Chains A and B, each alone.
Chain A
Amino acid sequence: MAARDTAWGPMELNRAAAQEAAEALRAAGWELELQLPNLPLIAPEGEAKDLVRRAKEEDAEPVWRGDAFLLLGKAQDLPAVLEHCRDELGYALLYDATAVDPSVDSAELKLIYGLRNLQTKARLIVQARVPKTEAVVPSVALVYPAADWHEREAAEMYGITYTGHPDPRKLLLPDDWAGFPLRKDYEYPEEYNGISCT
């Protein structure tokens, strides 16, 4: 059994796995950064609310909590990096592939891929960035078939083009839906095929 260190799972295990994977991938020649959160996993007693504010006052560095992740230098590397993770590092299962629009002002979208290693029981988050104006990225659906539907969903919600995707149809939205609903600058439609949306 993996050791539990927080009530939401073995975070230290996942963090160590991210460090290990970062070294292995760098050694294999890929350009990437390891992003480690700088707040403690569990806030000291009585500081859950104030910790962030005080940390901000004391230090100009951005503070954040949560998962460690790998940020790839080039989004074009994604299929090759994930294939390396699958074949060499033992991450046999892709549990999620999605995207995040950090804010209206952000010029980039974040792509997020979550992998699991069933032997070491660790999971690994691999991220990459693509510009909003030209959100084109190679699909990983041929490396992990599990990404097939996830990428179709991210494509229709964020307007990302996954090149080489085997089946790039819309998944959840109607075929004639205009706009990308999960982008932060999305404007709600007034009507859809004669049906008022207001």
Chain B
Amino acid sequence: MNSHPAARFDDKPGREVELDVATQDCMIHMGPQHPATHGVMRVLLKADGEILAGAQTHLGYLHRCAEKIGESVDWLQYLPYTDRYDYLAAMNNNLGYSLAVESLLGVEVPERAQYLRVIVAELNRIASHLFAVGTYGLDLGAFTPLFTALRDREEVLELFEKICGARLTYSYVRPGGVMNDAPEGWLASVAAFLDGFEKTWHEYWTLIAENKIFIERTANIGVLSAEQALAWGCSGPMLRGSGIDWDLRRDQPYLIYDRLEFDVIQGVGYRGQVGDCFDRTFVRMFEMVESVRILRQCLEQIPDGEVLHEEVGAVIRPAPGESYVAIENPRGELGHYCVSDGTKIAVRVRVRSPSFCNMSVAEHLMPGAMLGDAAAIIGSVDIVVGETDR
């Protein structure tokens, strides 16, 4: 008999029970409309008293057939659908898909477009991490971080509205470059935002790292070991939170990331053990600081020039072939495996989404945790259900 792959991690001791009272296993449905599931997703929890004995994730409530649509519409027509998987980081989704299409076209976009892409992707990373940390606080009963986080996220959304007219689903980055050049004064507004954000970041950090309730509810909770993170194919803050030094921006450099200096943040066990819920939040907080560093360098280096490759028009016919292109989304590795047969419609657009893989390990972090920790563990994965279900 084959045992479940999780079984080999199950020898972790559960929590000490001081008084052993006879209890009955109780099945609890968390979701599909539970606010802490960040979308529509159901987790079936098995609780022995207040201690969790197991969990099972049920997905599919937000399945919109993205991959099937990818094989039914033109290469370029699919772009707006990419906005809809991780709707908190739509610029990054656009970028991942555009790079995958360009890899089959064999086209490198003009330098100014590459810089603009990095600028919008990093701004989106800040907005996404702000939302992640803010709503995570909300899951745990801390209201204040969300309001302050949304204040700054609003400024990023305003910047996006100025450059492309949309606040959530942008379709700004497109195969061949970007939709249009930045309007006059936009880059200066980005610099002004960074100046303000650097100051308010410390406010968030105090609200998180000095907040006793937040620390008690996240430190030493949901510890994901490095081996477990690797075995389950985790990526992004989930992988780095467990102390693994891996970032696609540095290790599989794309666009102009090889010209930029930044650090890869890893979990250090700041308030508890390496790989606990606090460490994942720690990684997100400091990644925002690194994004600011990246943005400042981009604003200095950005050259003038075209923003759209002249050979990429409205109808795209990539060369036959198949290619996998991955980028570092705020939530981890977003990969597109595109297969082309040389026509204007794809044979296959496979989306490897970070939340999907990160979520698959969450149910194995539950056994031994308290019932109330379920929300803390799911929240620390920072899933977007639009992306797990696609």
Using a CB–CB cutoff of 8 Å, the interface residues on chain A facing chain B are: 1-4, 6-11, 37, 39-43, 46, 48-49, 51-52, 62-67, 69, 92-96, 98, 100-103, 112, 114, 118, 121, 123, 125, 141-142, 144-146, 148-149, 157, 164, 166-167, 170-174, 181-182
Contacts and interface: CB of A to CB of B under 8 A. Distances in A.
A6 B257 CA distance: 12
Contacts of B348: 100-101
Contacts of B304: none
Contact of A114 (B257, B320, B335): B335
Interface residues of B, number: 67
B214 interface: no
Interface residues of A, dominant DSSP: loop
B335 A49 contact: no
Contacts of B144: none
B77 interface: no
B252 A9 contact: yes
Q: List 8 A-B pairs, minimum CB-CB distance, nearest first.
A: A146-B233, A66-B323, A43-B106, A66-B321, A145-B5, A64-B321, A65-B321, A4-B253
A146 B231 contact: yes
B111 to A, nearest CB: 10
23 contacts: A1-B253, A4-B254, A7-B114, A7-B255, A8-B325, A9-B252, A42-B106, A63-B319, A63-B320, A64-B322, A65-B103, A65-B320, A66-B319, A67-B323, A92-B230, A95-B333, A96-B233, A96-B324, A100-B348, A164-B2, A172-B60, A173-B63, A182-B68
B310 to A, nearest CB: 9
Contacts of A63: 319-320
A173 B63 CA distance: 8
A39 B108 CA distance: 15
B21 interface: no
Contacts of A98: 337, 350, 352
Nearest to B390: A172
A182 B339 contact: no
B106 A125 contact: no
B193 interface: no
B389 A172 contact: yes
Given A100-B348, A166-B2, A181-B68, A1 B258 contact: yes
A93 B104 CA distance: 25
Interface in B213-235: 230-233, 235
B324 A67 contact: yes
A4 B253 CA distance: 6
B337 A112 contact: yes
B347 A49 contact: no
B17 to A, nearest CB: 28
A65 B323 CA distance: 8
Nearest to B319: A65
Given A39-B319, A123-B252, 4 more contacts: A42-B106, A52-B317, A67-B322, A93-B230
Given A100-B339, A102-B347, A8 B360 contact: no
B342 interface: yes
Contacts of B5: 141-142, 145, 148, 166
B76 interface: no
A172 B107 contact: no
B52 interface: no
B31 to A, nearest CB: 15
A17 to B, nearest CB: 12
Contacts of A118: 230, 244, 246, 251
